[in-house]
């Protein structure tokens, strides 16, 4: 990580990364010298993609953003932030329900490491409703996820949910 620069950390599961995540990433990258996208293992959420795959998907999506990198982690968020030298944790807010959870997490993180600040970026109007869990469900049921994720993520999810041809056997009719 760059020394002497303000390092921000944007953590998440990114299962998969959405246009909402990308909006926060682009905006957060403007307020820090270097932004680390922390891809959390987060087995409690039972992610669809493994950590390595999610990190690779994020890396592919951020290609071209010069001051942004991707690192996966499996420890306490504030410990990871300290490990990478982050002074700021960036969190995105979509709705009031996000705020309640995020404010509690920020308070806990502050209590453990008061030198690390949490900043909140609100979702832009066009991304407020996008959630990875909804994207996965829409994709699983064959819906159109193009308004919510990049074309590459559309392909990734299509590959995941590709259904094998029907294996239903039809019994031949019998005559009495």
Catalytic residue numbers, as ranges = 21, 45, 94, 132
Q: Which residue has the tokens 């246009």?
A: 19
**Is the backbone of residue 144 left (phi > 0), alpha (psi -120 to 50) or beta?**
beta
121, β-bridge pairs: 92
* DSSP code for 131: -
Alpha carbon 34 to chain centroid, angstroms: 18
Which uninterrupted H or E stretch holds 91? strand 88-93
Alpha carbon 52 to chain centroid, angstroms: 13
For Cα atoms 152, 155, 160, give the angle at the middle one, nearest 5 degrees. 130
* CA dist., res. 49 & res. 47, Å (int): 6
Residue of 171, 6, 144 lying closest to 86 (CA atoms)? 6
Which uninterrupted H or E stretch holds 61? helix 51-62
């Amino acid at each position: 990580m760059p020394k002497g620069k303000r390092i921000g950390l944007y953590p998440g599961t990114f299962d998969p990364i959405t246009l909402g995540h990308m909006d926060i990433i682009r905006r957060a990258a403007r307020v820090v010298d270097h932004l680390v996208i922390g891809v959390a293992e987060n087995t409690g959420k039972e992610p669809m993609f493994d950590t390595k795959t999610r990190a690779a998907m994020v890396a592919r999506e951020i290609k071209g953003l010069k001051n942004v990198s991707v690192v996966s982690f499996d420890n306490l968020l504030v410990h990871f932030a300290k490990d990478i030298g982050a002074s700021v944790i960036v969190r995105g807010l979509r709705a009031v329900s996000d705020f309640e959870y995020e404010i509690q997490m920020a308070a806990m993180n502050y209590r453990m490491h008061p030198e690390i600040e949490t900043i909140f970026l609100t979702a832009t109007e066009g991304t407020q409703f996008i959630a990875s869990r909804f994207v996965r469900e829409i994709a699983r049921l064959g819906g159109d996820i193009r308004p919510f994720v990049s074309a590459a993520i559309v392909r990734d999810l299509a590959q995941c949910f590709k259904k094998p041809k029907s294996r239903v056997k039809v019994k031949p009719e019998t005559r009495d």
